[in-house]
Structure 1
Amino acid sequence: MLRKNPSGDMPRVSETAFIDPTAIICGKVIIEDNVFIGPYAVIRADEVNEQGEMEAIHIKRDTNIQDGVVIHSKAGAAVTIGERS
């Protein structure tokens, strides 16, 4: 499920990515080509820093996020998962 965060950011997902219907992707998230997001995974970019800014969670191409993984960007910090991870 794709959701906006409280700031109104919506995830950007490549058409070639697979996101299991039970996964939750929220906010300023970028998912590139051929990424697999498994069942019950949660990826949330929904918190701002003290200045009210937020960096993206960026999952690069050909990456596999397994079942039940949680990636949460705290206090607006950037998170990058590299290619083929």
Structure 2
Amino acid sequence: MKPTKLIDVVAGISTHDDNLTIYATKPWTCNSNTILAQEPAEGGRPAEAELCGAEYLIEVFIAKEFLEDWLAQEGRPISTQEQCERLIHYAIYDA
């Protein structure tokens, strides 16, 4: 899989397989190069994440649940940029 920007992954989060994990290059920003991949059974990073220097960020199903819950609580339109920034914060401090 070719790396994409984290903001693009967040924009299409509802279309991604719940069994995948989000790996992104640090420092994590909305423009971080990102890979969606299955976590290896033996642990660690998948080869495609290692090749682009991406680190574990969060599982897709957790990202979906977090964003759905947060958006429902906010009750206002929220930009993809703000969603991405909030997901990064959640992954670092709360997940």
TM-score (structure 1 length as normaliser)? 0.27
Bigger relative contact order, structure 1 or 2 (CA pairs below 8 A, ≥6 apart):
2
Higher gyration radius (CA): 2
Structure with bigger strand share is 1
TM-score (structure 2 length as normaliser)? 0.26
